[in-house]
Structure 1
C-alpha cells in the first residue's frame, strides 16, 4: 500500500506540475513584462502581452526561434510603436536575443555600457529615430557578433569612442544626424568588414576625409554629407572597388575631382554637390557602367562639359547645377539611352542643345534654366512620351515651339520664360491635360490664346506676360476650375473680359496690365473669394467700378488706373484691406468715400477731374467769398434730403431683411437635416437655425458666413454656414469633417457637430470670445497683448500643430496656418481653426503628390510650396514661423517696410541693424532675452530651405525652454562657443541646423538638440 500511495502521489504531483507549467509564463516573458512596465505605451501597441500566456512568442513585436526544442526569444521589433521612456535594460537579459529594433519611438535618456553588457548575442541593433542623448556606449564593441548598428537620428554627443575601431564583424554603421564632434577618426578604417558607413549630418570639427577609409575594401555605401570636411578628396578612395553610393556633399572640400573616382566601376550614385571643388569634370565616367546618378551641383566646377560623361551606359540622373561650367552641351548627351533627369541650370553653358536630345532616352525632367543657351528647342524632346517637366527659363532660345511639344500629354510643368522664342503657340500646347504651370512670359510669341485651352483641366498657373499676343480672351478660360494665377500683362489682347471668368473660384491673381481690353468690368464676381491681386490698369475699360469688389474677402492689390471708368467710387471698397490701391487717370466723379478722403490715398485718385474732395491736387481750386452763402444753402438742403433718404431706405431695408429672413428660415426648415455629432450634444438644429440671421453675423470667410449662437442652456457656439459649391467642393466633405471631428486636443478648435442638407451644411464650433489673433494683434486691441500673452499664444498654436503633424494617423497638414486661423478664448488661450484646405500626409516613404493649386494665404505660403505645389508638414512650419514673426514685430505678413514680405524684412533688419529694430515697441525691453530666443525659432521655421526647418514637435520643445535656459544656450555653454554645426542659411540673420540626409527616402528633418 505504501508503494502504491507513493506512486499515486508522484503521479498527481506530475500532473499538477504540468498544469502549472502550462499556464505559467516563462522567464523570458517575465523579462518582457518588466520591459513593458518601464515604457509608456500610449497607443496600446503592447496590449496583447498577457501574463497568462505560456510564452511571449505570439506577442506583438516578438519572434522566437522555431528550431529550438524550447521556444526562445531571438528577435524584438518595436519599430514605430510610439513607445516612450528610457532604454529598457531588461531586454538584454534575454540570452538568445539576436535582433533588436526600437527605431521610430521616443526612447530617451542615455544608454549606459552596463545596460548593454548582457546583449552579447546581438547581431542587429537599431535605436534610430529616438531621443537618446549622451556619449556613444563603449560596450557596443563587446558584442562580438554585431553586424548591424544604427544609432542615427538621435542626440548622441561627444567623440566616436576609440573602441569603435575594434568591431570584429560589423557590416553596417549608421551614426547619421547626431551631435558627434571631433574629427572623423582614422581608426574607422580598421573595421575591414564594413559595407555601409554613414556619418552624415554631424557637427564634426573641420578636418579631412581620413585616407584610411580606403582600406575598407568591402565598403558599398559611404555617406559623409555635412560633416565639415575640408581639404581635397583623397585619390585613394578610388580603391573602393565595391562602392555603389558615394555622398560627400555639403562640405568645404576643395581641389579637383580625382581621376581615380572614374575607376569605381560599381558606382551607381555620386553626390559631390555644395563644396568648393574646382577644375573640370574628369573624363572617364563613361567607364562606370552602373552609374545611375551623378550630382556635382553647387560647386565651383569650371570649364566645358566633357563629352564622354554621357557615354556611361547606365547613367540615369545628371545633376551639375549651380556651377561655373562653360561651353556647349556635348552632343553625347543625345546618344545616352538611359538618361532620365538632366539638371544643368545656373551655369554658363552656351551654344545650342543637341538636336536629337530626347529621341534615344526616356527623358522625364530637363532643366537647363539660367544659362546662355541659344538655338531652337530640340524638336524630339518628347519623342518618348514621358517628359514631365521642361524648364528652359532665362536663356537665349529662339524660333517657334516645336509642334511635338503640343502632343506631349505627359507634361506637367512648362517654363520657357525670358527667351527669344517667336511664332504662335501651338493649339495643343494650350490644352495639355496635365500641365499645372505654363510659363511663356518674356518672349516674342504672337497669335491668340486658343480656345483649346479648355482641355487644360489641371492648369493652375498661366503666365504669358510680355509677349505680343492678340485677340480676345476666350470664354473657354472660364472652364479652368483650378486656375490660380493668370498673368498676361504687356500684350495686345483686346475685347471684353469674358463673363465666364466669374466662375474661377480658385483664382488668386489676375494681371492683365497694359493691353487693349475694353468693355465694362465684370459683375457677379462673388466666386472670386480667393482673389488677392487684380491689376487691370492701362486698358480701355468703361463703365463704373463694380461694388462687388468690396466683398472680396482677401483682395489686397487693386489697380484699375489708366482706363476710361466713370461714376463714383463705390463705398463698398472701404471693406477691403488694400496694400496697393490705384484708380488714377480715369473719368471718375463724385465724393470720395470717407476712408479714402485722406492724404494717404491722394496718389490713388490722381487724374480724375470729376472727383470732388478737399485733398490737394485732386480737384481744381474752387472760388470762395461770393459763393460761400450758396454753398451753405446747398449743403443744408443736401443734408436734409440725404437724411430723408436714409430714413426711408432704412425702413425699406428693415422690411426687406425681415421678409427675407422669414423666407430663408422657412426654406431652411422645410428641409430635413442630417446630424453628424462628434460630442454629446445638449441642443437641437432648431436652436441653431433660430440664430442664423444677420444680427448674429460675426464673420465672413472664403467659404461661408459665421454666426454667433447663444443657446437656451446658456452655451455659446459659433456656426459656420457653407452654401452651394463650398459645401462640398472636393466631394469629400463628410469624410474630411469626420476626420477633423475625431480630433481631441485643447489647442484644436472643437467641432461639436455638423448638420447636412442637400446644398447647405452647418458646422458648429466652440465659440472663441476674443476672435482671431489677426484681429487682436493688428486691430485696435493690439495693446492687450503683452509679451507673456503673445508667448503663450505661440506655444498653444505650436502644440496644436504638433498634434496634427505627429499624433494624428495619418498626419494632417493644415495648409492655411495664419493669424486669422488662430482663435483666442476669453483667457487668450489659442486654438488652431479652419481646416477647409487641410490634407492628410502620404505614408512614410511615399512621395507627396502635387496639389492642383496653391492653398494658403499671401505672406504665409512656404516658398517651395508656391513653386512645386508639393505639400508636407514643413509648409505648415514655415507659415507658423511667419505667425511668430507677427507676434514679435506686430507687423502684418505682407506690406511691411519697403513693400517686402515680413520674413525678408526681419531677416534683413536683423542682419543690418540687430534684433532691437524688429521687436514691437509695445513689448518693452524687460523680456528682450526671451524675445530674442523666440525670434531665433521664428527665423529657423521660415528658413528658405525646407530641410533646415525644425519639426513642430521640436518647435514646441524649443518654445517651452524659452522662459529658462534654452537648449541653444545650453549647447553653446557646453562647448564654450557657437557650435560648429550651426550654419548661416540663405536668409540673413537666420541660424539653422540641418539634420536631413538628402538620400533618405523621406524628409525626416529634426533639430540637432539634446
Structure 2
C-alpha cells in the first residue's frame, strides 16, 4: 500500500473516531442538560457550569467524569443542596455510567424502575435524601459494588431477591429507612465480598444467621435499632477482619460466644440495650478497642483488669448492669480517655486516679455503686471535665479544692456519700456549672459568697448536710436558678431579701435550719415559684401579704415563731401554719381565731355559724336531689356502688364523694376514645377537671380538647399506679397539676386542675379560636418550652412526653400554658397486647418525628420535633395537616417549601399577627425549623430551645416592637 493510501486510511479512521466521539458527547450532553433543566427551578445556580456553550462539553461539567472516549462514567452531585425530583428516567441513556452519587441532598419523589437499565453501574449513592415509596428491584445491576440508600425515606418491602446477582457488592448501606419488617435476608450471607453492612433501623427481625461467618471480608457490621432476637452466633468469631460491630437496641440474649476474644481487630463494639448476660472475660483480649458500649444489659462479674492496660480505649459505658468488683485502677492512663459511665452497678473499691491523665476527660459518671475512698486529687487538674457524677456511693474525705472551680464543668453531683469539709471560693471559676448536688453528705462551714458568681447555676441541692452561718446575699445574682434545696442544715440569720431577684426560681426549700427574722416580702415577686418550704426554723413576724400572689402547689411555714393574721388567700393551705402559736385565722380551724378590737368577733362567729348551717341544709337538700336524679341513671348507680380507693398527691379541699357525685351529664365537657371529661365545681367555687376512664374504652384517636385519655387497662395495672405516682411528683408552673386518682376494679377517675381556656389547639383551630396576639403566642411558646425542659432535664432520667401537640398544651384563665398528658402514652403502649412499648408508635399524625415513625424508637429528640410542629402552628396559625399541603405532606414540608425567599417566608406568617411582630415571629419559626430537623442529632435539646426562645423575646415598649432585621436563610 502506498504512503498516500496509508495516510488516507489513517485520516478516515481518525475522522470516524472523532465522529463517534462527537455522537457520544452529544448524546451524553443532552441527558445532562435534561437533568439540569429538571432541577433548575428549585436549585438556581447549582449547575451553572452545565452549559451547552462550554468549550469542553459535558466532561468539563462540575461533578462529571468521562472516560478516554468522552463518555460520561461518573456523576457526583452529593452535598450540593439539590431538592425536587431527580429525572431518573433518562439517566440510563448514559451508556457508560458507572457511578451516580446524589447523597446528602433534599431530593424527593419515587425512584422509577428504569434504574434497573443502568447495567454498568458499580456505585450508587442515594443516601440522606427524602425519596418516597419502595425502592425498585436491581436484578440487572450485576456489576454493582457500592449501594448507599441509608436515611432516604424509602418504604415498603425492600427487593432483597433482586440482589442475588450482585455478587460483587462490597458495601450495602440501607439503614434508617421505614422498610417493611423482614427476617435477616438470606441473600446477604451469599455476598462473600461484602466488607460493610449497615442495616440499622430498617426493621430487620429474627436471629442473626450462623452463615454470617461466611462473610470473612467483613470489616463493619451494623444492625442496631432493630428487632433481632436470639444469641450472637458463635460463627461470628470467623470474622477476623471485623473492626466495628454494632447491634445495640435489640432483643439479643445469651453470652458473648466462646472465642469472641479472637476478634482482636475490633475497635468499636456496641451491644448496649439488649438482654445479654454472663461476664466480660471474652473481651479481655480486645486490646485495640477504642469505644466499648455495653450499657443496659444483664452482665455480671468483674470488669477485666486488662481493660486498664488498653492503649486505645477512650470511652467506656457499662451502666445499668450487675457488675461487681473494682474498676481497673489503670483505666484510661494510656489513652486519650474521655468518658466513663459505669453507673447503676455494684462496683466497689476506689475511683481510678488516672482517667484524666492525658487531659481529655469530659465525663466521670459512676453513680449508684458501692465505691469507697476519696476523690483522687488528679481530677482537680482535669480542665476538660464537664460532668463529675459519683452520687449514691460510700465515698469519703474532702473534695479537692480546685475541682470546685473547673472551667468547663457543668454538673458536680456528689450526693448521698460521706464527703465532708467546705465548698471553697474556687467555685467562682466554674463559669459553666449548671447543677450542684451535694445532698446527704457531711459538708460543713459557711457557703461561700463566690457562689453568686456562678451565673449558669440552675439547680443547687445542698440539703441534709452540716452547713452553717448565714445564707450569702450574693445568691440573688443567680437569675437562672430554678431549684434551691437547703433544708436540714444549720444555716442561721435571716433569709436574704436578694433571693427575690432569682426570677426563675421554682422550688425553694430552707426547712429544718435555724433561720430567724421575717420572711422577705420579695418572695412574693417570684413569678415561677411553685413550692415554698420554710418550716422548722425560727422565723418571726407576719406572713407577707405578697405571698398571696403566688400560685403554689406546696406551702409549708409550720413550726416557726410567726404571728399575726394568715392572709385570707392562703387559708386553703390548712396544714401549712401549724406550730406557730402567734398566728390566727378566721377560716383555719387549727389556728387561734382572730378577734378584732370592737368586740364584734362573737357576732361574726354567730353570723358565720348561721351561714354554715344554712349552707349545710341547702347542701343536704341538693345531695338528696342529686341522689334521686342519679338513681334514674344506670351508670351513676354503678359509680356509687363501686368500691373506690383514693390516692392524693396534693393538698385537697374535697373528698372522693365530691368528685363521684359530679360525674353527670350536665358536667360533661369532652368525650374521648376511652372515657369522658367532666368539669367539677366544688362548694368553695374551685374548678377541677375529672377524667372518667371506663373499662370498655379504647385508645384515643382524635384531638382531645381538654385532658389526656387513657387505655382501659391503666386503671387496674400496677404500672398505671407507678406512672401516676411519677406524674404526681412533678411540680412545675408549666405542667398541669394532678391532684389525685380515684380507682375501682373497673375504672378510674383522675382529678386535674381545670384549665378554663381549653387547649392551644382550641384557641388556634376550632370554633373556640381566639385572636391570639403575638405576645400571648410568644408567652405560650416560652412557657410550654420550659415545661418540656423540666421534663427532659429536671430528673435523673428524662421524662419523655411522647405526644407533644397543641391539644396537650392547656391554657389557664391568663393564657399561661400547662403541659398535659405526659408519660401516659408509654403505659398505653406497654399494655397494648403485651408488646414492648419501645416498638409501638404512639403520638398523633403530623407531630411524630420521622425516625419514630420508621423505627418506633423514642427519646427526647422526638419531643423536640413535636414541639417544633407546635411552634409552626403558633407562627402560621395552620394545623399540622391541611389539604393545601398536598397528599402525604404536613406543615413541616409546607414550611420547608416556602423558605425560598424572605417574601415567601413572610407569606406563611399568620395574617392575624400584626405587621410589627412579623420579624419576631420569624425568629420563632427559625427555632421551629431547627427542632424539626430530619436527623435527630441535628435537633437542639429543650434546654437550648428555651434559651433560643428567650433570645427571641419581642421588645415590649409602649406597644412598640423593636426588632432587628432577620436573615431568613435557615439551615436545618
What is the SS of the residue equivalent to 2:442? Answer: coil
Contact 1:226/1:251 (<8 A) preserved: yes
Describe how 1:343-354 pairs up with structure 2 within 5 A: 343-354=317-328
1:46 & 1:442 partners in 2: Cα distance? Answer: 59
Q: Tell me which residue corresponds to 2:239.
A: 264
Equivalent of 1:959, from 875, 880, 904? 880
Equivalent of 1:602, from 557, 562, 574? 574
1:297 & 1:881 partners in 2: Cα distance? Answer: 28
Contact 2:123/2:144 (<8 A) preserved: yes
Q: Tell me which residue corresponds to 2:556.
A: 582
What is the SS of the residue equivalent to 2:546? Answer: helix
1:60 & 1:82 partners in 2: Cα distance? Answer: 20
Equivalent of 1:408, from 373, 376, 382? 382
Describe how 1:888-903 pairs up with structure 2 within 5 A: 902-903=821-822
Q: Tell me which residue corresponds to 1:327.
A: 301
Equivalent of 1:945, from 854, 859, 871? 859
Q: 1:129 to 1:949 in 2, by over 3 A?
A: farther
Q: Tell me which residue corresponds to 1:368.
A: 342
1:593 & 1:54 partners in 2: Cα distance? Answer: 86
Q: Tell me which residue corresponds to 1:89.
A: 89
Contact 2:852/2:862 (<8 A) preserved: yes
What is the SS of the residue equivalent to 1:346? Answer: coil
User: Are 1:628 and 2:557 counterparts?
Assistant: no
User: Are 1:390 and 2:319 counterparts?
Assistant: no
What is the SS of the residue equivalent to 1:262? Answer: helix
Q: 1:60 to 1:505 in 2, by over 3 A?
A: farther
Q: Deviations over 1:631-679 (max 9, x none)?
A: 89xx9xxxxxxxxxxxxxxxxxxxxxxxxxxxxxxxxxxxxxxxxxxxx
Q: Tell me which residue corresponds to 1:158.
A: 157
Q: Tell me which residue corresponds to 1:216.
A: 191
Describe how 1:352-501 pairs up with structure 2 within 5 A: 352-501=326-475
Contact 2:776/2:815 (<8 A) preserved: no
1:32 & 1:939 partners in 2: Cα distance? Answer: 34
2:384 & 2:522 partners in 1: Cα distance? Answer: 40
1:888 & 1:630 partners in 2: Cα distance? Answer: 43
Contact 1:217/1:239 (<8 A) preserved: yes
2:327 & 2:70 partners in 1: Cα distance? Answer: 70
What is the SS of the residue equivalent to 1:521? Answer: coil
Contact 1:465/1:487 (<8 A) preserved: yes
Describe how 1:695-714 pairs up with structure 2 within 5 A: none
What is the SS of the residue equivalent to 2:397? Answer: strand
Q: Tell me which residue corresponds to 2:809.
A: 886
Gaps in structure 2 of 5+ consecutive residues: 1-21, 608-732, 737-751, 834-841, 873-877, 891-931, 942-972
User: Are 1:142 and 2:61 counterparts?
Assistant: no
TM-score, structure 1 length as denominator? 0.62
Contact 1:311/1:335 (<8 A) preserved: no
1:360 & 1:407 partners in 2: Cα distance? Answer: 17
Q: Deviations over 1:409-453 (max 9, x none)?
A: 332211111111112222122222222111110011112212222
1:628 & 1:868 partners in 2: Cα distance? Answer: 57
Q: Deviations over 1:465-524 (max 9, x none)?
A: 001111110112122122221100111111101122122222221110111111111123
Describe how 1:768-847 pairs up with structure 2 within 5 A: 782-783=756-757, 789-791=763-765, 826=771, 833=778
Q: 1:791 to 1:40 in 2, by over 3 A?
A: farther
Q: Tell me which residue corresponds to 2:693.
A: none
2:793 & 2:593 partners in 1: Cα distance? Answer: 53
TM-score, structure 2 length as denominator? 0.64
1:509 & 1:786 partners in 2: Cα distance? Answer: 28
User: Are 1:279 and 2:279 counterparts?
Assistant: no
Provide the alpha-carbon RMSD of the alignment. Answer: 5.0
Q: Tell me which residue corresponds to 2:266.
A: 291
Equivalent of 1:301, from 262, 276, 280? 276
**1:943: how far off?**
7.8
Q: 1:485 to 1:967 in 2, by over 3 A?
A: same
1:861 & 1:323 partners in 2: Cα distance? Answer: 28
Q: Tell me which residue corresponds to 1:133.
A: 132
**1:369: how far off?**
0.9
How many correspondences in the alignment?
718
Q: 1:550 to 1:269 in 2, by over 3 A?
A: same
Contact 1:38/1:88 (<8 A) preserved: no
User: Are 1:239 and 2:168 counterparts?
Assistant: no
2:807 & 2:471 partners in 1: Cα distance? Answer: 41
User: Are 1:533 and 2:501 counterparts?
Assistant: no
User: Are 1:857 and 2:857 counterparts?
Assistant: no
Q: Tell me which residue corresponds to 1:124.
A: 123
What is the SS of the residue equivalent to 2:132? Answer: strand
Describe how 1:17-166 pairs up with structure 2 within 5 A: 30-39=30-39, 41-42=41-42, 44-46=44-46, 48=48, 53-54=53-54, 62-65=62-65, 74-77=74-77, 79-85=79-85, 87-114=87-114, 116=115, 119-138=118-137, 140-143=138-141, 145-152=143-150, 153-160=152-159, 162-166=161-165
**1:159: how far off?**
4.2
Q: Tell me which residue corresponds to 1:614.
A: 586
Q: 1:827 to 1:515 in 2, by over 3 A?
A: closer
1:143 & 1:913 partners in 2: Cα distance? Answer: 43
User: Are 1:510 and 2:439 counterparts?
Assistant: no
What is the SS of the residue equivalent to 1:155? Answer: coil
2:378 & 2:734 partners in 1: Cα distance? Answer: 52
Contact 1:311/1:336 (<8 A) preserved: no
2:933 & 2:199 partners in 1: Cα distance? Answer: 12
Q: 1:949 to 1:99 in 2, by over 3 A?
A: farther
Contact 1:861/1:878 (<8 A) preserved: no
**1:259: how far off?**
3.6
**1:878: how far off?**
6.9
Contact 1:29/1:55 (<8 A) preserved: no
1:391 & 1:895 partners in 2: Cα distance? Answer: 33
Q: 1:467 to 1:74 in 2, by over 3 A?
A: closer
User: Are 1:904 and 2:823 counterparts?
Assistant: yes
Contact 1:907/1:939 (<8 A) preserved: no
Contact 2:333/2:357 (<8 A) preserved: yes
2:229 & 2:831 partners in 1: Cα distance? Answer: 31
Contact 1:958/1:966 (<8 A) preserved: no
1:961 & 1:311 partners in 2: Cα distance? Answer: 58
**1:100: how far off?**
3.0
Q: Deviations over 1:232-276 (max 9, x none)?
A: 443332332222212233445444433432342222122233344
Describe how 1:633-712 pairs up with structure 2 within 5 A: none
1:940 & 1:236 partners in 2: Cα distance? Answer: 31
